[in-house]
Amino acid sequence: MLDRLLHLLFPNVCVVCRKLLLPSEEGCCSSCMKGFDPFKNYFEAEQTLRNVLVSRFGDIVLFERGWCRYQFHKKSPLQLALHSMKYEGLYKLGTMFGRQLGEWMLASGDIGDIECIVPVPLHRMKNIERSYNQADKIAESIGKSIDRPVMRKLLMRKRYTVSQTGLPAEERKKNPVGAFQVVQGVSLRHVLLVDDIVTTGATLAAAAAALLQAGVERVSFAAVAIALKE
């Protein structure tokens, strides 16, 4: 009831087309969402993620399972949606993407023995610059769907990495390696690392390496989208 009233008073608009949203829609309208490019099935998504990482790091990066919902294309409605989530701080969109991912994970049949969810952290400075960490919101929503706790304090950025947008490809490649550390010693069997979008895979790889080094046995990945070379 209150939700409906608030909706009437402060109508939400779609982040992509700016049309008024229905009360059932979150952040992005259903007709714009049709313009996103979902993976056909879990295997295709997982294999794509694996290929991205193997092509850059060889077989060194070990992840157990990888879930991803969309293929990312430049200038697509999905880019607009993810961009708005990042810079306009749209909680609802993060929640929506997280729930989609969580449902996608559950529908894939086996989420294994994942014990907790860790969002890829932003540096503290960036957290201030932006209104919130979008990976955090996605992780929280996945947690609700798959019924696992989110551990926000486990992983930390060691140093400030400049925003990757606008960096030349070579710089972007080098940027986040070694950028993470685990705050305390852990004895966890299986951690799910969450990010919004995978571009080179370097961020996930560096975060996973830090977790594995700190004693986590296995790491799986979940991301809203993978950017494929076009």
If the CB atoms of residues 70 and 180 are measured against Zn ion, the closer one turns out to be 70
Residues 23-82 that bind Zn ion (CB under 5 A): 29, 32
The residue among 86, 83, 81 whose CA lies nearest residue 13 is: 81
Rounded to the nearest whole angstrom, what is the least distance from the CB of residue 104 to Zn ion in the complex? 21
What does DSSP assign to residue 75?
T
Q: Residue 189 Cβ, how far from Zn ion at the closest point, in Å?
A: 41
Q: Which stretch binds Zn ion (CB under 5 A): 21-29, 109-117, 199-207, 222-230?
A: 21-29
Distance separating alpha carbons of residues 114 and 172, to the nearest angstrom: 30
Among residues 26 and 196, whose Cβ is nearest to Zn ion?
26
CA distance 46 to 151: 24
Task: Kindly tell me which of 29 and 210 has the beta carbon lying closer to Zn ion.
Answer: 29
Judged by CB under 5 A, the residue of 7, 17, 103, 172 near Zn ion is 17
- In the bound state with Zn ion, the residue whose beta carbon lies nearer, of 21 and 45, is 21
Q: Is 206 exposed, middle or buried (0-12, 13-18, 19+ CB in 10 A)?
A: buried
CA distances from 227 to 65, 115, 142, 169, 203 (A): 18, 28, 21, 14, 13
Asked if 16 interacts with Zn ion (CB under 5 A), we say yes
Q: Which residues bind Zn ion (CB under 5 A)?
A: 14, 16-17, 29, 32
